[in-house]
């Protein structure tokens, strides 16, 4: 069966453009957030791998002006509004935790990660890197997330996926695997959603 050609200007791309959203990925977090009622007014949310800002736009809208959204990525993110603070940071750098603490000292109601490795084309390598990035996000959800809070991380299926899901299960009361509608056909990515973080 022939694969459908990759169409960068697909339905979700056009829809994002029409709605003034920076990336088609905005629809992924919007769908997940609605499905599980993730964000509420006044919450503090960390968005890792936030460029160009599609997730940030949705989250900022849902937490409102009284909320706080922190976005980090390896590339700069154009400013978004008074309740969004962004920085160019490498989440795997030794000083990342200190830098993040300097940006926001409080606890997060949700930790969201759309981090993805620069793909090498070697599936096992890419899966391992994907797990490592998601693992960093989970570590922050445990150390900086509120009890009762939530966690969302993008992952490539395969490799140690089951092992990682069990780690999320140990930290959260409920864990869901979601493949949002806006995910491209041939993509092996899914999102793991952890609901209601357990007390340590």
Known active-site residue 154: yes
Q: Where are the beta strands (DSSP E) in 22-99?
A: 44-48, 68-73, 84-88
Which residue in the list 28, 68, 136, 154 is annotated as catalytic?
154
Beta bridge partners of residue 92, listed in sequence order: none
Sequence spans of domains, the chain: 11-197
Domain 11-197, CATH: 3.40.50.150
Q: Report which secondary-structure segment, H or E, holds 143.
A: helix 123-143
- For 27-84, how does the pLDDT look when each residue is reduced to its tens digit (9 = 90+)? 999 999 999 999 999 999 999 999 999 999 999 999 999 999 999 999 999 999 999 9
What is the pTM for the complete model shown? 0.92
Q: What angle do CA 102, 100, 179 make, to 5 degrees?
A: 155
């Amino acid at each position: 069966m022939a694969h459908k050609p990759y169409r960068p200007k697909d339905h979700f791309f056009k829809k994002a453009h029409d709605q003034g959203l920076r990336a088609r990925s905005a629809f992924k977090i919007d769908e997940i957030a609605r499905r599980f009622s993730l964000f509420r007014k006044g919450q503090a949310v960390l968005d890792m791998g936030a460029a160009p800002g599609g997730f940030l736009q949705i989250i900022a809208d849902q937490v409102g002006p009284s909320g706080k959204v922190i976005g980090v990525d390896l590339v700069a993110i154009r400013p978004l509004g008074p309740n969004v603070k962004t920085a160019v940071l490498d989440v795997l750098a030794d000083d990342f935790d200190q830098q993040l603490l300097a940006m926001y000292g409080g606890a997060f109601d949700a930790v969201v990660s759309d981090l993805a490795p620069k793909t090498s084309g070697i599936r096992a390598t890419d899966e391992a890197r994907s797990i490592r990035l998601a693992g960093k996000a989970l570590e922050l959800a445990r150390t900086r997330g509120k009890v009762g809070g939530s966690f969302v991380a993008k992952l490539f299926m395969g490799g140690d996926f089951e092992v990682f899901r069990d780690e999320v299960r140990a930290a959260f009361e409920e864990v869901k695997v979601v493949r949002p509608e806006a995910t491209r056909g041939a993509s092996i990515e899914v999102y793991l959603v952890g609901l209601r973080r357990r007390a340590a």
